[in-house]
Amino acid sequence: MENEIKNKIPIHVDLSPNRDELYSGIGLKSNDEIFVFICFNEETKEFDGFAVIRNYEIDKYREWDDEELNEIKNYNSSEFIDKLSLDKMNNMFECLSELKNGRLIAIFNETDDDSYFVGKIKNLSETEVELKLLNEDAEWIGSEKIKISEITYIGFDTNYEKELMKKNALQHGV
């Protein structure tokens, strides 16, 4: 995977049999703990935000073929290069520490692959993160504590999170 990261080659990352998920994008960092990548949005056919997954869950990966590369409508990956302090993002806790700045994030945990939490980091310790939650109507709805060891996916800076924040700001005249 080193070559694909170095040369910014789009890849598919397959998590089965651990999890029925296939993620696509451009890898930015891979170590024993995590894989950080620029997400590819299958609907808009462009790159859209970032994600962090646990590296041990990756079963296999492959480079995109020519047909898949030709599907990209907007090769906008340069908008995301050099936007993260990757040297400070070596595990899930460090990634969350880098995201404490008020960014809206999405978190999946290992107990439920189908639902996720969206919010801002309210409190963070070595073992737990507390999110101030935002629902799909962009309303603040309380908090949720999540064990860092149970987090399987962190997404951020995607159009989904940006639109929710914009909607929330409009509702509250910010």
Q: Tens digit of pLDDT for each residue in 55-108?
A: 988 989 999 999 999 999 989 999 999 999 999 999 999 999 999 988 999 999
**Exposed, middle or buried, 128 (CB in 10 Å: 0-12/13-18/19+)?**
middle
14 against 17, higher pLDDT: 14
Q: How many CA atoms lie within 13 Å of 19's alpha carbon, on the beta-carbon side? A: 21
pLDDT at 172 over 60: yes
Q: How high is the pLDDT of residue 121? A: 97
Q: Tens digit of pLDDT for each residue in 107-142?
A: 998 877 677 999 999 999 999 999 999 999 999 999
Which structure tokens are listed for 102? 């008020």
pLDDT at 174 over 60: no
Domains and CATH numbers, the chain: 1-90 (2.30.30.180), 101-174 (2.30.30.100)
Q: How high is the pLDDT of residue 173? A: 63
Query: Does residue 147 contact residue 95 with C-beta atoms inside 8 Å?
Result: no
Q: Which DSSP letter does residue 174 get? A: -
Q: How far apart are CA 44 and CA 147, in angstroms?
A: 33
Q: How much is the average pLDDT of 29-36? A: 96
Q: How high is the pLDDT of residue 111? A: 77
Q: Is the pTM of this model over 0.85?
A: yes
